[in-house]
Amino acid sequence: MKQSFYWLDTLLPSQSFLVGRKAFALSKLIKSGYPILNGFAIDPAAMKQFLEIIGNSAPLLADFPHSSLHLDVKNHQELQSVAQKSRQLINAASLDRDFVSALLDEAERLNVPTLILRASLQLPEGISEQKITGLLPGTICSCNRSDLEKGLKQAWSQLFSAKSLFFWNQLGIGIERLNLAILVQPIHNAIASGTVEINRNAIQIQSSWGLGHSLLKGEILPDFYQFRRGAQILDNKHLGTKMRAYCLQGGNLSPYLLTESEQERYSLNEVDLKNAIEIVENLASDLQDTGFFEWTITDTPEPKFYIIQFLRTPIITSPSRAPSMKKDRVLLKGLAASPGVAIATVSIVSEVSESLPYFAPNTILVIANISPSWFPILKQAAGIIAEVGGVTSHAAIIARELGIPAIVGATNATKLLPDGQLILLDGNSGEISPLIEGEQNNLSLDTDRHLANVDAEVINRPIATKLWVNLSQLSSLPNAVNLPVDGLGLLRSEIMLLDLISSEPLHSWLQPDKQVILSERLTESLAQFAAAFAPRPVFYRSLDWHFFESNRNQPKFNSERGTYNYLIEPILFELELKAIAAVQRLGYNNLNLILPFVRSVEEFIFCRDRVAKIGLDRVESFQLWIMAEVPSVFFLLSQYVEAGVKGIAIGTNDLTELLLGTNRDRSELRNKFNSRHPAMLKALKELIRSAKKMGITCSICGQAPVEYPQSIEQLIRWGIDSISVEPQAVKTTYRAIARAEQSLILSAARSQLCQD
């Protein structure tokens, strides 16, 4: 077997392709004088030679690495079987004795009892290290012959896990093309560990006691520090909520509880913090873009700050705030439905039809109203202006989900805006202004993307109320997954499904020959959401048929809403359940189910029994919820809980319509009949308090907390467990929750003082 080992401090640029991005990045830093724990990388050829030897006697790996494994990742039983057998073969086989001896000789040069083995890939173009974070976890082992051999085989076998095989297949990359080097470094017990994120203007440090696993696993809320790039001046800091930490015991990772004193102290003292800031500032000044790295302060006779892993993260920019315009330049005003700014020419679509409209890409679509079935083509629009609709209308929801600036309720927009005119659409204020050709070049736009740098502004103190995000499409994942949220509180099936089946009407996909394809596509999408947020929970809301009722080609039962339709035609619901089960078999146990528009306990029991039949509830963490959007839930909640409901998600958009007899698409009614109406407030209070009494979780996932952030204090006072909002609203909602919780704590403290 190949015995090439490449030490970080002597690595040549010409050898970068042999050691992968992770090892090469650390090599460059160590040569530049940054504090890196030295180590060495094992040539990818060693793994390939090892697998060739196994393949001589194992049919499963016979062709690897000359060709990829022959399997269908969409067949989840086959995927699990191949993954399990491949890893068993790798871990059971013996490495060449001379290779292990040479490896041990190199490892002993590190002069430590414990090592960590990390995957370092030479990634294909366009794939970032962040995208594969957590896909190939590190392996800790003792520095002796048997443990080192076992640890290396385990590190190699990570490439053949079900998650890994599925991930690379979806990218169209055969794993035989991947050059997997293994980076071997010493690992010490740590006084403190954490992460550093270098943004364009600010640097944030997160820190906790011990090794960094409690932070990376999301088990604690770390201490937080922020300072401006180039200044080395601390802007703010807050004490985290730290209950546990990790240490090394006998070559293994072990958790332990922190003392009360440790919980109440910052994990970085002033000297360590000053030293860390100086190192980070030097690194930030050397970067032309942004970066993220993990660090540790070793618990050794001479403690020292070390950078463990380093990733470059390019800045993402897009217009978010409009330049100031004179008020007399405003042509038209409507309701601000989706934030952001668009400068483009107008494309008028005068009539809403069943067929997809044509408009030039990267123009501002001006339309009377939007059909949900248009979703696949709306991605081409630079902005959207709709004559009718409120901020909870489908047009507004779709625009926010796509991240496209939008205005709704812009009366007579199709008549007042000339086709082809250059305009500025301000989705923050709801204003539409004309521009003269060339004038856009003189406008100064603020191009900071809030989603890319939300932590710096909002995480200045912890919140107890869970904050979740609402999503519908895979393209939203790269930004949403890094937001400061506790999970995905509402994964809407309708828009996601439209994206998957846009080539044909829905009813054609329910034919026997198409069901398998639909199930596979749905599984692939759900798996990507689950993988991106794991271990944080994902709540998938099954299909609410009314979303498709604008298509006359659909069967008659599509006009029915929610779970009642499942009783009439259960095919699609059963396909959804099979997809969730397939995702569970991939190893993702964070996917849960919310049933939409439940009218009766009988409907819920029907769905509950189908869930049990397919075995979803065999996963201990799985939860079955219902949407609380039909007013009958007020009177039936105790019966729902008795039948097995574990939580409710209040859909304020539909609940407001049904309770007040209004219409979300009638913008002129919103000032009188909205979620701030006394009847709605009383209904929300009743639902939340009833859920608390019955011991189930209560979340709110409609637009109400975003439209009326002042209502968040009431929701928290009544006992809401979580608030789920769209990505653009995470920052403001986090702030509102923090202010509300602080206000309530202050009120309680003052009340106690008065009593004393």
Looking at this protein, which amino acid is placed at residue 533?
F
d(CA 241, CA 246): 15
Alpha helices (H) along 510-600: 512-533, 564-568, 571-585
Per residue in 146-196, pLDDT (tens digit) is 999 999 999 999 998 887 887 787 677 788 878 899 999 999 999 999 988
104 Cβ neighbours under 8 A, 6+ residues apart: 143, 144, 145, 148
The pLDDT of residue 558: 36
pTM, 2 dp: 0.54
The pLDDT of residue 560: 63
d(CA 713, CA 52): 63
Counting residues of the chain whose pLDDT is more than 70, the rounded percentage is 82
pLDDT above 50: residue 562: yes
> How far from chain centre, in Å, is Cα 230?
31
The pLDDT of residue 456: 42
- Residue with the bigger pLDDT between 525 and 72: it is 525
Beta bridge partners of 341: 426
Nearest to 377 by CA among 417, 350, 347: 347
Per residue in 493-528, pLDDT (tens digit) is 887 787 667 556 677 778 888 888 888 889 988 988
Task: Tell me if 631 sits within 8 A of 608, measured CB to CB.
Answer: no
Q: How would DSSP label each residue in 249-287?
A: ETTEEEEEEPPHHHHTS-SS-HHHHHHHHHHHHHHHHH-
Per residue in 299-320, pLDDT (tens digit) is 998 899 999 988 754 333 333 4
Per residue in 306-361, pLDDT (tens digit) is 999 887 543 333 334 445 554 456 888 888 888 888 888 898 887 655 555 667 67
The pLDDT of residue 186: 95
Q: Quick one: angle between helices 633-643 and 678-694, nearest 10? A: 20
The pLDDT of residue 313: 45
Per residue in 2-20, pLDDT (tens digit) is 568 999 999 888 787 788 8
- Residues 727-734 have a mean pLDDT of 87
Most confident of 295-309, 553-567, 736-750: 295-309
Class assignment of domain 193-315?
alpha beta
The CATH code of domain 329-447 reads 3.50.30.10
pLDDT above 50: residue 555: no
The pLDDT of residue 432: 92
Task: Tell me if 698 sits within 8 A of 646, measured CB to CB.
Answer: no
Per residue in 209-220, pLDDT (tens digit) is 999 888 776 567
The pLDDT of residue 250: 82
> CB pairs under 8 A, 24+ apart, for 514-520?
515/571, 515/575, 518/575, 519/575, 519/578, 519/579, 519/582, 520/74
Please report how many Cα atoms fall inside a 13 Å half-sphere around the Cα of residue 209, on the Cβ side.
21
Tokens of 122: 């030479």
The mean-pLDDT minimum among 121-135, 556-570, 586-600 falls in 121-135
Counting residues of the chain whose pLDDT is more than 90, the rounded percentage is 35
The pLDDT of residue 59: 73
Per residue in 642-678, pLDDT (tens digit) is 999 999 999 988 898 888 887 655 555 555 667 788 8
Q: For residue 166, give the DSSP letter.
A: H
The pLDDT of residue 449: 35
d(CA 367, CA 371): 10
- Residue with the bigger pLDDT between 755 and 596: it is 596
d(CA 447, CA 316): 9
The pLDDT of residue 538: 96
Task: Tell me if 569 sits within 8 A of 146, measured CB to CB.
Answer: no
Tokens of 395: 């047009």
The mean-pLDDT minimum among 34-38, 49-53, 628-632 falls in 49-53
Per residue in 409-467, pLDDT (tens digit) is 888 899 889 888 889 998 888 899 888 655 555 554 443 333 334 444 444 467 889 99
Per residue in 617-649, pLDDT (tens digit) is 999 999 999 999 999 999 999 999 999 999 999
The pLDDT of residue 97: 93
pLDDT above 70: residue 395: yes
The mean-pLDDT minimum among 17-21, 323-327, 378-382, 678-682 falls in 323-327
Task: Tell me if 472 sits within 8 A of 496, measured CB to CB.
Answer: yes
The pLDDT of residue 151: 95
The pLDDT of residue 526: 92
Q: Does the domain spanning 5-186 belong to CATH 1.10.580.10?
A: no
Q: Is residue 209 within a helix (H) or strand (E), and if so which, with residue range? A: strand 202-209
- Residues 581-606 have a mean pLDDT of 94
The pLDDT of residue 455: 44
The CATH code of domain 463-753 reads 3.20.20.60
The pLDDT of residue 316: 30
Tokens of 635: 């009177």
Q: For residue 405, give the DSSP letter.
A: -
- Residue with the bigger pLDDT between 715 and 83: it is 715
The pLDDT of residue 96: 92
The pLDDT of residue 222: 80
d(CA 468, CA 474): 17
Nearest to 461 by CA among 195, 118, 223: 223
The mean-pLDDT minimum among 136-150, 406-420, 536-550 falls in 536-550
9 Ramachandran zone, left/alpha/beta (phi>0; psi -120 to 50): alpha
Q: How confident is the model at residue 381 (pLDDT cuts 50, 70, 90)?
A: confident
The pLDDT of residue 440: 54
Task: Tell me if 215 sits within 8 A of 231, measured CB to CB.
Answer: no
The pLDDT of residue 665: 54
Beta bridge partners of 692: none
75 Cβ neighbours under 8 A, 6+ residues apart: none
Domain boundaries of the chain, sorted by first residue: 5-186, 193-315, 329-447, 463-753
Per residue in 100-130, pLDDT (tens digit) is 999 999 999 999 999 999 999 877 655 656 5
Residue 554, helix vs strand vs coil: coil
Tokens of 539: 């709540």
Task: Tell me if 226 sits within 8 A of 235, measured CB to CB.
Answer: yes
Rounded to the nearest integer, the mean pLDDT of the chain is 82
